[in-house]
Amino acid sequence: MSDKPLRLLLGFDYGTKQIGVAVGQVITGQARELCVLKAQNGVPDWNRVEALIKEWQPDAVVVGLPLNMDGTPSEMSARAEKFARRLNGRFNLPAYTHDERLTTFEAKGQRLREGQSGGYRERPVDAIAAALLLQGWLEENCTG
């Protein structure tokens, strides 16, 4: 980790069509969903990403790493890592990756408990998944 103390983080659930975004605070150890960005073949509208970075001024970003259930890299792992490197390069922020296995499944379960069945295109779960992966990163890296 960097020398600068981490206070605020943005989490990204990377996807080829949508990228979920969450915000988390180190002091409270809590993360919450923020928004879902549209993507074209995995490329977001970088102006929207920049606007979020300017608005929230995070100390670092965390990108979900989509691993297979056995812990090996998936086809999407390299793309998610590249996205993390791009965030680091464009915004000069430390970028971390975090195992995101089952976060989308868990996010859909959360929506089911709230009464939603299907319709994930109209009401996507990507931001919830981003909050879950960011929460996991916070618990793993920021609790003493």
pLDDT of the residue at 122: 64
pLDDT of the residue at 23: 97
Strand order in the sheet with 43-44: 43-44, 30-40, 18-25, 8-13, 60-65, 95-99
Write the CATH number for 110.
Answer: 3.30.420.140
Taking only the tens place, the pLDDT of each residue in 27-59 is 999 999 999 999 999 999 999 999 999 999 999
* Residue 26 in this model has a pLDDT that exceeds 70: yes
pLDDT of the residue at 35: 94
* Residue 6 in this model has a pLDDT that exceeds 80: yes
pLDDT of the residue at 53: 97
pLDDT of the residue at 105: 66
Residue 34 lies in domain:
6-140
Buried b (16+ CB within 10 A) or exposed e, 55-77: eeebbbbbbbbbbeeeeeeeebb
pTM attached to this predicted model:
0.87
Whole-angstrom distance, CA of residue 7 vs CA of residue 58: 8
Whole-angstrom distance, CA of residue 89 vs CA of residue 94: 9
pLDDT of the residue at 115: 72
Taking only the tens place, the pLDDT of each residue in 99-123 is 887 677 677 777 677 776 666 566 6
Whole-angstrom distance, CA of residue 93 vs CA of residue 50: 12
- Residue 1 belongs to a domain: no
pLDDT of the residue at 67: 86
68 pairs with which residues across the strands? none
Domain count, the chain: 1
Which residue, 98, 33, 29, 113, is CA-closest to 61?
98
Whole-angstrom distance, CA of residue 60 vs CA of residue 88: 9
